Amino acid sequence: MGSIGISFSSYLNTAFSVPSAAFTSNILPLDELDGLNFLRSISSFDDVIATNRNLCPVGLHCNQDETLQIVSAFTNRAVLIEGPRFLNRARNYPAWAEERIDLSIDFAMNPTEVGKDKLLNFGVKWFYLVKNTPVGPTNSHKIESLSKLVFENATVAVYDLIPLS
């Protein structure tokens, strides 16, 4: 019995080399992770987010993986629509999905007051904008006239559609 105790004690006193861990991702740039963490920290659980992430115009071939639900997964928030290929990778979406895709892409590329009002009618409070995508901003100063920029880095921007002031 004593030898078991001594063996266990020796095991506990042994210095183990812990390999260093480094976070890397081939799915998500670290800049984007910063934006998602910020959005999660500033938003409420019942807030709704709209995004242009992983969206392609209906009927066009898309070179990105539309199956990823990155914004929803990392923020733990509801998203208007993100990566709509939840329908068995189909490209024939129901009308409600097409409407949400078009609205999100249109607001990202050329935001208008009408587009903002439509997003607000869906209950959207935040817009998570991915900059370097085929459906990214072409008129970025316009979105800032319609909403409040609350986070930005080289990859993403987060806008509050309902600023308090």
pLDDT tens column, 22-56: 445 566 789 899 999 999 999 999 999 999 988 87
Burial class (CB in 10 A: 0-12, 13-18, 19+), 131: middle
Check residue 93 and give its pLDDT. Answer: 77
Burial class (CB in 10 A: 0-12, 13-18, 19+), 51: buried
Share of the chain above pLDDT 70, in %: 69
Q: Is position 14 within any domain? A: no
Q: Is position 88 within any domain? A: yes
115 — pLDDT class (breaks 50, 70, 90): very high
Q: Is position 51 within any domain? A: yes
Mean pLDDT over the full length of the chain: 81
Q: Is position 131 within any domain? A: yes
Q: Is position 22 within any domain? A: no
Task: Note down the domain range covering 64.
Answer: 28-160
Alpha-carbon span 75 to 41, nearest angstrom: 8
4 — pLDDT class (breaks 50, 70, 90): low
Phi–psi pair at 106, nearest 5 degrees: -60, -40
Q: Is position 165 within any domain? A: no
Share of the chain above pLDDT 90, in %: 47
pTM for the complete prediction? 0.78
CA–CA distance from 121 to each of 52, 101, 156, 162 (Å)?
18, 15, 24, 12
Q: Is position 80 within any domain? A: yes
Alpha-carbon span 156 to 70, nearest angstrom: 13
Question: Mean pLDDT lowest for which of 22-26, 53-57, 132-136, 139-143?
Answer: 22-26
Q: Is position 7 within any domain? A: no
Sequence letter at residue 4 = I
For the chain, the domain total comes to: 1
